[in-house]
């Protein structure tokens, strides 16, 4: 999940090696083609054998063009995708329709009824695979190496079905070329599909099991046997010795393939049992999550079963046995139609199953949050009514133009220890940094006035914020900065970025990354920097609760440095303090109005929630208010978490989160925010899904392994943190296989 430049280095190192392998294979192919041509010209090989070898080289070529270690992850550009769709559709339709014209004597050696059946079989299978391949080519998917493998597998199934159906267009003497190309391409397609299936199960188990981690030799041995059977038939014909050798290779292939598929089926069945058991003992968000995971596993069991038992070899073996026992004519009359039907629909089923397994044809899940948003649209604004709307509007516009660029934020981070000697990234909170760094830096000692830090960094120039950041002041400031950079760099979690911020080299790497992406000037609205702290909190700690109460202990902690325990010094500035008694000029009551304004004026405006490791951000009233406004205004929202582990460890608490338990420094603020929520129960449910669920983790597009890993997390999380599974249950689907 987490990606950093250091993690990408091995991929870059492998690129020259991959190019060398590709060039070597290309030279080998050209050399072999030249050898076959020379052998044919010198009459060392007859016409049929030469064409069969040409077909073999053509059939194996896709395997050289796209191998196991291919690093392509991005979908092709729009024009290339639509060109591919048009090509696949036109060729597929022509091949499916033209055999019905009487000029093409396809299957002429059969009786008319049998010939008609096979023409329809070719037409239906070709049309079906064409539709699936065209859909897979058309879809613009997020970067995924797994999906690119799946597209190649679907393309392979389409190409070999099309090649076999297209025999009608060519004179009979050229049939060995197309037939051998299709047969060997089938072996390549088998390898692609086998790797896709094993990668899924490895992701589901969340670790490579012994059998699946050793699946490489099994798959390669099966593939070699598949191709050797074809080569035996090519060079030895249909003699008894040839048929016996072919039987050996086919049997080995079938046994290895069935062994692998049975292991995969057992793993999926185990996962299905665990999820089904979990579904009966949970409610709410965990129930929906388990139901989603159960649907995923159910689909994968069906897809893997279809791929397994549609194996062509199951139908080829009895055909060859009959040919051996009787003769070719009897086998054609008795079993040719079942074999061709099984073969064509085998690849139609494989193409559909691969497309489903990869996530290409997997629909996005939707929840009931749209209903919540509709209710929020009718909810009253949280902004306090005022008598001077012009002053209010001017202040909203002023606040909206106090964005902080990524460059400014990184520069501030780098010099923070100089400004704040007690700063400890593992201890110091945002509250500490505001009191000991932001307030001193924004105090103009020459005039005695104070300012927000953001406009000082921009030298008074307006910087319209592109993203609003919701965060908790008790969170580590280190994590706040990491969360912002993780959002800018499109990381799913911010733990990796947090680690980079601890080292000068890591900071330089971050700077290089934002410059390479041309996002150095991307601006974020962060209250700590964008609000003038001198107009509200710099000279006080708020009203003290009664001593001896839990509220007093919390208040006392907030006025002390988290590292040293020393009470913060108060600011001596002369800036006039403005609170809710002057609502038009106050800067602390306009967050929702400012979000609406930016959503109207700033293209692509988004809302970022940086969640602390304890998830206290979801217990603060004003943070909840910003989430409410984000939903009401339909602003694109992102929640950045520290890691998967922090989410999972808080699973039970978050699954029952209740906005009515939120806290605020001022009780009246809390009451105002709760009154603005029309349906609190529905809002609670929606909030849970935004943290983990169909509106959060599960709503985004996931490729095959990512979806399998998420299913694995649902299992592990429910058992480990939810306590729902019995103590004797194993959470790893492979443990009992």
Give the pLDDT confidence of 262-318 residue by residue, as tens digits.
888 887 787 788 777 767 666 556 666 677 777 777 877 777 777 766 555 555 667
Lowest mean pLDDT across 218-222, 652-656, 693-697: 693-697
Average pLDDT over residues 151-174: 83
pLDDT-derived band of residue 402, with 50, 70 and 90 as boundaries? very high
pLDDT for position 310: 57
Domain ranges of the chain: 1-45, 46-358, 371-542+550-650+657-682
- What is the C-alpha to C-alpha distance for residues 395 and 535, in angstroms, rounded to an integer? 13
- What average pLDDT does the segment 546-567 reach? 91
The CATH class given to the 46-358 domain equals mainly alpha
Return d(Cα 472, Cα 431) in angstroms, integer. Answer: 9
Which pLDDT value is given to residue 15?
A: 46
Q: Output the pLDDT for position 294.
A: 78
Its sign, for the CA torsion 547, 551, 554, 558, is negative
pLDDT at 652: 66
In sign, the C-alpha dihedral spanning 523, 524, 528, 531 is: positive
What is the band of 213 on the pLDDT scale with cuts at 50, 70, 90?
A: low
What are the beta bridge partners of residue 402?
463
* 133 close to 155: Cβ distance less than 8 angstroms: yes
Which of 332-346, 541-555, 694-708, 710-724 has the highest average model confidence (pLDDT)?
541-555
Contact 242, 713 (CB under 8 A): no
Q: Work out the end-to-end distance of the chain between its first and last CA atoms, rounded to an integer number of angstroms.
A: 27
Mean model confidence pLDDT for the chain: 78
From CA 39, how far away is CA 42, in angstroms rounded?
5
**Contacting residues for 90 by C-beta, under 8 A, at least 6 apart:** none
Concatenate the DSSP letters of all residues of 197-230 into one string. Answer: HHHHHHHHHTS--HHHHTHHHHHHHHHHHHHHHH
The answer to which of 387-391, 456-460, 548-552 has the lowest mean pLDDT is 387-391
Q: What mean pLDDT is predicted for residues 154-172?
A: 82
One DSSP character per residue, 340-381 reads HHHHHHHHHHHHHHHHHHHTTTPPPP--THHHHHHHHHTSPP
Question: pLDDT at position 512, please?
Answer: 95
| Residue 366 pLDDT | 43
pLDDT of 12 higher than 60: no
Residues 6+ apart with CB under 8 A from 697: 710
Q: What percent of the chain has pLDDT over 90?
A: 23
Q: Which residues contact 532 (CB under 8 A, 6 or more apart)?
A: 442, 450, 451, 452, 575, 587
In this predicted model, which residue has the larger pLDDT, 531 or 367? 531
The residue among 365 and 132 whose pLDDT is bigger is 132
Write down the pLDDT at residue 393.
86
Residue 68: closest CA among 135, 155, 156, 149: 149
Prediction pTM value:
0.59
Give the Cα-Cα-Cα angle 718, 722, 724 (nearest 5 degrees).
80
Q: Residues 24, 29, 31, 34: what is their CA dihedral angle, to the nearest 10 degrees?
A: -160
Q: Supply 97's token pair.
A: 């329709």
Closest to 149 (Cα-Cα) out of 259, 75, 257:
75
pLDDT band at 716 (very low <50, low <70, confident <90, very high): low
- CB-CB neighbours of 229 under 10 Å: 25
What percent of the chain has a predicted confidence (pLDDT) above 70?
A: 74
| Residue 123: predicted pLDDT | 85
Q: Mean pLDDT: which of 49-58, 61-70, 490-499 is highest?
A: 490-499
Q: How confident is the model at residue 4 (pLDDT cuts 50, 70, 90)?
A: very low
DSSP annotation string for 320-338: HHHHHHS-HHHHHHHHHHH
Average pLDDT in the 226-240 region? Answer: 81
**pLDDT of amino acid 418:** 93
Mean pLDDT of 701-723: 59
**The pLDDT of residue 715:** 65
Could you tell me the two tokens for 556?
Answer: 């006392």
Map residue 593 onto helix, strand or coil.
helix
Residues 311 and 345: their CA atoms lie apart, in Å, by 10
Q: What is the per-residue pLDDT across 329-377, written as a single tens digit (0 to 9) for each?
A: 776 677 777 777 777 888 888 888 888 777 776 544 444 444 443 343 3
Q: Quick check: helix, strand or coil at residue 537?
A: coil
Separation of alpha carbons 723 and 8, rounded Å: 37
pLDDT score at 77: 84
Give the SS3 label for residue 620.
strand
Question: Which of 592, 671, 238 shows the shortest CA–CA distance to 392?
Answer: 592
Query: What is the band of 732 on the pLDDT scale with cuts at 50, 70, 90?
Result: very low
Query: Which residues are CB-neighbours of 657 under 8 A, at least 6 positions away?
Result: 618, 684, 687, 688, 691
Residue 432 has pLDDT above 90, yes or no: yes
| Mean pLDDT of the 395-403 span | 92
């Amino acid at each position: 999940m987490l990606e950093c430049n250091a993690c990408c280095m091995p991929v870059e190192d492998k690129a020259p090696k991959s190019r060398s392998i590709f060039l070597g294979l290309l030279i080998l192919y050209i050399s072999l083609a030249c050898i076959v041509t020379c052998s044919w010209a010198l009459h060392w090989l007859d016409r049929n054998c030469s064409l069969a070898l040409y077909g073999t080289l053509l059939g194996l070529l896709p395997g050289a063009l796209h191998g196991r270690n291919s690093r392509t992850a991005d979908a092709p550009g729009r024009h290339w995708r639509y060109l591919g769709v048009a090509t696949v559709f036109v060729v597929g339709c022509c091949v499916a329709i033209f055999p019905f014209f009487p000029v093409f004597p396809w299957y002429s050696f059969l009786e008319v009824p049998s010939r008609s059946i096979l023409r329809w079989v070719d037409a239906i299978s070709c049309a079906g695979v064409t539709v699936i391949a065209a859909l897979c080519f058309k879809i613009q998917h997020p970067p995924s190496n797994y999906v690119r493998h799946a597209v190649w597998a679907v393309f392979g199934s389409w190409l070999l079905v099309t090649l076999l159906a297209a025999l009608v267009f060519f004179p009979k003497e050229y049939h060995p070329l197309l037939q051998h190309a299709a047969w060997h391409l089938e072996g390549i397609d088998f390898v692609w599909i086998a790797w896709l299936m094993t990668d899924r199960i490895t992701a589901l188990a969340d670790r490579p099991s012994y059998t699946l981690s050793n699946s490489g030799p099994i798959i390669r041995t099966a593939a070699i046997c598949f191709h050797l059977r074809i080569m035996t038939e090519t060079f030895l014909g249909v003699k008894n010795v040839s048929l016996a050798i072919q039987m050996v290779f086919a049997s080995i292939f079938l046994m290895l393939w069935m062994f692998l598929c049975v292991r995969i089926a057992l793993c999926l069945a185990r996962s299905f049992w665990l999820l089904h058991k979990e579904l009966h003992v949970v409610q709410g968000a965990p129930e929906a999550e388990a139901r989603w995971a159960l649907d995923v596993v159910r689909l994968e069991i069906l897809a893997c079963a279809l791929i397994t038992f549609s194996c062509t070899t199951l139908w080829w073996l009895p055909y060859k046995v009959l040919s051996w026992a009787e003769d070719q004519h009897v086998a054609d009359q008795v079993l040719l139609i079942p074999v061709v039907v099984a073969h064509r629909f085998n690849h139609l089923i494989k193409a559909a199953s691969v497309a489903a397994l990869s996530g290409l044809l997997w629909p996005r899940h939707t929840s009931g949050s749209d209903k919540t948003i509709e209710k929020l649209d009718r909810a009253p604004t949280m902004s306090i009514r005022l008598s001077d709307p012009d002053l209010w509007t001017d202040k909203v516009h002023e606040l909206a133009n106090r964005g902080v660029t990524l460059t400014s934020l990184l520069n501030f981070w780098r010099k923070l220890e100089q400004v704040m000697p007690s700063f400890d990234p593992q201890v110091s909170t945002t509250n500490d940094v505001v009191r000991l760094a932001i307030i001193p830096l924004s105090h103009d000692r020459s005039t005695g006035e104070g300012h927000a830090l953001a406009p000082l960094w921009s030298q008074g120039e307006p910087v319209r914020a592109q993203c609003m950041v919701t965060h908790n002041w008790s969170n580590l400031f280190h994590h706040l900065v990491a969360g912002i950079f993780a959002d800018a760099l499109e990381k799913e979690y911010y733990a990796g970025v947090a680690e980079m911020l601890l080292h000068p080299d890591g900071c330089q790497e971050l700077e290089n990354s934002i410059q390479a992406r041309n996002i150095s000037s991307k601006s974020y609205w962060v209250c700590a920097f964008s609000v003038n702290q001198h107009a509200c909190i710099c000279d006080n700690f708020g009203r003290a609760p009664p001593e001896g109460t839990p509220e007093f202990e919390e208040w006392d902690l907030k006025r002390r440095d988290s590292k040293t325990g020393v009470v913060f010094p108060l600011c001596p500035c002369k800036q006039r303090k403005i609170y809710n008694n002057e609502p038009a000029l106050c800067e602390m009551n306009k967050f929702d109005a400012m979000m609406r304004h930016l959503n109207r004026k700033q293209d692509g405006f988004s809302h970022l929630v940086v969640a602390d490791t304890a998830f206290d951000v979801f217990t603060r009233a004003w943070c909840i208010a910003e989430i409410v406004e984000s939903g009401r205004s339909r602003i694109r929202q992102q929640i950045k978490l520290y890691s998967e582990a922090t989410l999972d460890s808080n699973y039970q608490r978050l699954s029952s989160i209740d906005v009515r338990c939120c806290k605020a420094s001022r009780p009246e603020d809390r009451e105002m925010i709760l009154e603005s929520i029309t349906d609190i129960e529905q809002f609670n449910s929606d909030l849970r899904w935004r943290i983990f669920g169909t509106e959060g983790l599960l709503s985004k597009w996931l490729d095959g392994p990512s979806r399998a890993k998420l299913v694995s997390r649902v299992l592990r999380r429910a058992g480990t943190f939810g306590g729902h599974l019995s103590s004797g249950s194993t959470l790893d689907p492979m443990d009992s296989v």
